[in-house]
Amino acid sequence: MHYRSLGRTGWQISEISFGAWAIGGSWGEVDDRESMAALHQAVDCGVNFIDTADVYGMGRSERLIAQLKRERREEIIVATKAGRRLHAQTVDGYTRENLTA
């Protein structure tokens, strides 16, 4: 696997990332065991950068990625998008503090 620097963060991220849209299950039935197997295989192959969003299965992909991070010792960098489900009463919750893990 080849890696590149991510801006000025000092992080080295894999040139190939894991796109977690499909494991959210929005496009059909998805088996969480198969999703976890795919995530583990990606990390086994050197992938350390995962892309997801709060709307991928209404947080399902983010929960699976959180499980992966608990199960693996490798550093895994997650980029998630937020704010596609904005409601007037929740806009205040979309702060840098709340969105940074």
Question: For tokens 């992938």, what's the residue?
Answer: 47
CB–CB of 75/50 below 8 Å? no
Q: Which of 56, 68, 76, 78 is catalytic?
A: 56
Rounded Cα distance between 38 and 101, Å, is 23
3 is catalytic: no
Catalytic residue ranges:
56
